[in-house]
Structure 1
Amino acid sequence: MSDEERRDSLADQAAAWIPPWERPTPPKPEGPDEPPAEPESLAEPEILDADRSSRTETLHDPVGESATEPTAGPDAAPGAGEPAAATPRAGEVIDLDAPAGADAGEPEGEGGVGVPGKRGRRRPTPPPEPAPVLDDAELRGALEAILLVVDQPVSELTLAQVLEQSPERIGPMLDEIAAGYTTAGHGFELRRAAGGWRLYTRPEYATYVERFVLEGQSVRLTQAALETLAVIAYKQPVTRSRISAIRGVNCDGVIRTLVSRGLVEECGTEADSGAFLYRTTTMFLEKLGLNSVDDLPPLAPFLPDDVEELADATR
C-alpha cells in the first residue's frame, strides 16, 4: 500500500470515529444468564435522601396521625392498627442510643419540666423559707444578750442581719430597752455611741468603776497630749505642721503617743504638700460617749475674752 492510500485510510477512520459519550447505549441482554447489575456510585446518596425524607416526615407528623394507622377493613393485614413505631420504615436508620419517648416529646433528665423538645431542664429551686418573726419579748432578750458580749458599738443593721429581723423593728426596740433601764434606775445604761449601740455604766457610778478598774494606776493623758488631741478633734483632718503651729511647739512625739493609744489615726495626705493628715478614731468617740464629732461642745464659751489681743500680740 502506498503512502497516499495509507493517508486516505486514516482520514476515513478519523471521520467515522464517534466519541464514547455520543455512542448509543447497547440494549441489555435478557435471560437467565444475565449478570447482576453493579450498584451505581450514586446509590448511597439516594439512600441518604430517602432516610432524610423519612426522618422529616416523622418529625412533622402531628400527634395522633402517625401514631396509629387505620385498618383497611376485614381483609387488612395483621397488625394494621398497631402503632407505626413498632415497625421501622424502609430505609429508616434507628438510633439505638436515643432514650425511650424522645420522639414523643417526653422530657429527659432528672427533674424535667415536661416541655417537648427541651431536654435536661430542671425544676426551679423553691425560694428559701422566710425567717420566723420574733415576738417583742424574744426580740428584746436576744438584743440584750448580744449587747452584753460586744466589745464595741454595734449598728442596728448588723443586729437586724444577725437576728434575721426587719431593721425597722430594731431601732424602736433599742429605744424601749434604753428607756426601761433609765426608768428602773440600773447602774448601767444603753446609749448610742460611735454610730452604734452599747451598754455603759452610769456617770454617777464612775468613781466606783474607776476604783475597781484602775487599782491605783494612772492612765490619764498629759496636758500636752490633751491639747494635741483637742486640736485634732476640732481641726481634723489636720497635718502635724498645722498642729505644731497652733500649739507653738513640736508635736511629733505626742502624736505618736496618741496613735499608739488608738485615739488618733492617719487619714491620707495633703494634696499640696503631701504631708500626712490625722483624725480622731472611733475609740475616741467611744471614750467620750459621743455619736459623732458634731456632738463636740462649741469652743466659744472656753475662749478668753481678749483672744483677739492675744492673736495680735503673737503676730
Structure 2
Amino acid sequence: MNSDERRDSLADQAAAWVPPWQRPTAPSATPDADDPGESPPASAPEPPPAEPLNPPEPPGPPVPAESLNPPEPGPPALPEPPRAPGPAGIAEGPAAADVPPAPAGEGPGGSGPEKAPRARRRATPVPEPAPELDDAELRGALEAILLVVDEPVSELTLAQVLEQPAERIGPVLDEIAAGYTAAGHGFELRRAAGGWRLYTRPEYATYVERFVLDGQSVRLTQAALETLAVIAYKQPVTRGRISAIRGVNCDGVIRTLVSRGLVEECGTEPDSGAFLYRTTTMFLEKLGLNSVDDLPPLAPFLPDDVEELADATR
C-alpha cells in the first residue's frame, strides 16, 4: 500500500468515526441457556454520520465590544476642574475642594469598606450668663448678705456670689452707706480691713457695751498693749526681736494675743527659722482701720532725746 492509499484510508476512517455519546445502542443478545456454546450474532456496521448542511465558517478577527453595544448618547462633558499647583507651580491634580468624596462603604481607594469615623467628643456647654439684677434687687441682696457676715467681705466676693459685674458693687455699697447716714440709723455700713461690714455708730457705743458686757469688761494689760504695738509697727517680727525692743521676755504675752485673735503666725524667718508674727483682721476691725498703712506715725509720740536713750542702752 502506497502513501496515497494510506492517506485515503485514514481520511475515510476519520470521517466514519462517531463519538461514543452519539453511537446508537444495540440490543445485547443474551445466549440461550440450552445452547451455551452459541455466540451472539455480530452487530451490523454503523453508517457514517451525515455531513452538516451548513459547515461552520472559519473564525475571523475579533469584533470589539463597542461595535456590538454602542453607548447611548449622554449629557455633554463638563470642563475639567482646575488642578492644584505643585511645589514648582505645575498642576499635579484636581484641587482638594473639587475632589468628590468617596462613596459610602468604600475606603480611600474604593477597594474595601471604610472604617466608621470616631465619635467626636462633645464640647462642654458654656453656662449662660446670669441675668443682670436691677438696682433695687441688687441693693436688697447686698443688705441681706451684710447682715449675716461675721467679718468684712470684699467687693470681689460679693460680685462672685451675686454673679454681677464687680464694678457695680462699689457704687451701690457707697449709696447704701450714704442712705444709712442720711436716715440717722443706729448702725452704719463702713469699709474696714479690706471689706465692708455693718457697725454700730460710735454715739451709741455706751448702750451697746452695757448690753454686751453687762459689767464684765476684759481689758488688755499694759504689757499686752506694748507688745501689740511692736508687732503692728514691725510686722512681720520674731519673738526675739520683740523681746529685744521691750527689754523683757514676752512669750506669755504673745500667747495671750494669739488666743484673743489679735496676732497670728505668718511663717518663719529664713536665717534663724524663728516664727514670725503679724496682726490679724480682727485687730484692724477693733481699731477701725482699713489696713496697717492707716496706723498713725510714731514720730509725734517719740521723746526728743530718743537718740541719747538709744546710746545709753548700748
Tell me, yes or no, whether TM beats 0.5. Answer: yes
Higher helix share: 1
Q: For the residues of structure 2 that align with 1:222 and 1:190, how far apart are their CA atoms?
A: 31
Name the amino acid aligned to 2:150: D
Deviation sequence 1:162-219 (CA, Å, 0-9, x none): 1111111011111111111122221111111111111111111111111111111112
Which residue number in structure 2 is paired with residue 218 of structure 1? 217
Which residue number in structure 1 is paired with residue 293 of structure 2? 294
Name the amino acid aligned to 2:264: E
Question: Identity over aligned residues, as a percent?
Answer: 89
Q: For the residues of structure 1 that align with 2:270 and 2:122, how far apart are their CA atoms?
A: 58
Give secondary structure in 2 for the equivalent of 1:161. Answer: helix
Question: Is 2:199 aligned against 1:200?
Answer: yes
Greater C-alpha radius of gyration:
2
Give secondary structure in 2 for the equivalent of 1:174. Answer: helix
Which residue number in structure 1 is paired with residue 160 of structure 2? 161
User: Structure 1 residues 122 and 220 mapped into 2: Cα distance closer, same or farther (>3 Å)?
Assistant: same
Q: For the residues of structure 1 that align with 2:149 and 2:135, how far apart are their CA atoms?
A: 21
Which residue number in structure 2 is paired with residue 279 of structure 1? 278
When normalised by structure 1's length, the TM-score is 0.61
Which residue number in structure 1 is paired with residue 267 of structure 2? 268
- How much has 1:104 moved relative to structure 2? 9.5
- How much has 1:139 moved relative to structure 2? 0.2
User: Structure 1 residues 126 and 256 mapped into 2: Cα distance closer, same or farther (>3 Å)?
Assistant: closer
- How much has 1:273 moved relative to structure 2? 2.0
Name the amino acid aligned to 2:261: G
User: Structure 1 residues 194 and 102 mapped into 2: Cα distance closer, same or farther (>3 Å)?
Assistant: farther
Name the amino acid aligned to 2:144: A
Give secondary structure in 1 for the equivalent of 2:147. Answer: helix
User: Structure 1 residues 125 and 307 mapped into 2: Cα distance closer, same or farther (>3 Å)?
Assistant: closer
Name the amino acid aligned to 2:188: E
Q: For the residues of structure 1 that align with 2:302 and 2:146, how far apart are their CA atoms?
A: 40
User: Structure 1 residues 104 and 138 mapped into 2: Cα distance closer, same or farther (>3 Å)?
Assistant: farther
Q: For the residues of structure 2 that align with 1:129 and 1:201, how far apart are their CA atoms?
A: 40
Which residue number in structure 1 is paired with residue 247 of structure 2? 248
Which residue number in structure 1 is paired with residue 138 of structure 2? 139
- How much has 1:119 moved relative to structure 2? 5.1
Which residue number in structure 2 is paired with residue 174 of structure 1? 173
Match runs of 1:45-124 below 5 Å: 103=105, 118=117, 120-121=119-120, 124=123
Q: For the residues of structure 1 that align with 2:174 and 2:270, how far apart are their CA atoms?
A: 43
- How much has 1:117 moved relative to structure 2? 6.4
User: Structure 1 residues 150 and 102 mapped into 2: Cα distance closer, same or farther (>3 Å)?
Assistant: farther
Which residue number in structure 2 is paired with residue 235 of structure 1? 234
Which residue number in structure 1 is paired with residue 47 of structure 2? none
Give secondary structure in 2 for the equivalent of 1:149. Answer: coil
Name the amino acid aligned to 1:212: F
Q: For the residues of structure 2 that align with 1:150 and 1:313, how far apart are their CA atoms?
A: 51
Q: For the residues of structure 2 that align with 1:207 and 1:198, how far apart are their CA atoms?
A: 20
Q: For the residues of structure 2 that align with 1:227 and 1:218, how far apart are their CA atoms?
A: 20
Give secondary structure in 1 for the equivalent of 2:273. Answer: coil
User: Structure 1 residues 102 and 289 mapped into 2: Cα distance closer, same or farther (>3 Å)?
Assistant: farther
Unaligned runs of 5+ in 2: 1-19, 22-70, 73-102, 108-114
Q: For the residues of structure 1 that align with 2:124 and 2:219, how far apart are their CA atoms?
A: 60
Q: How many residue pairs get matched?
A: 209
Q: For the residues of structure 1 that align with 2:192 and 2:106, how far apart are their CA atoms?
A: 69
Deviation sequence 1:90-141 (CA, Å, 0-9, x none): xxxxxxxxxxx96499xxxxxxxxxx96453476555322211100010000
Match runs of 1:183-198 below 5 Å: 183-198=182-197
Q: For the residues of structure 1 that align with 2:301 and 2:122, how far apart are their CA atoms?
A: 72
Match runs of 1:22-61 below 5 Å: none
Give secondary structure in 2 for the equivalent of 1:206. Answer: helix
Unaligned runs of 5+ in 1: 1-30, 33-71, 74-100, 106-115
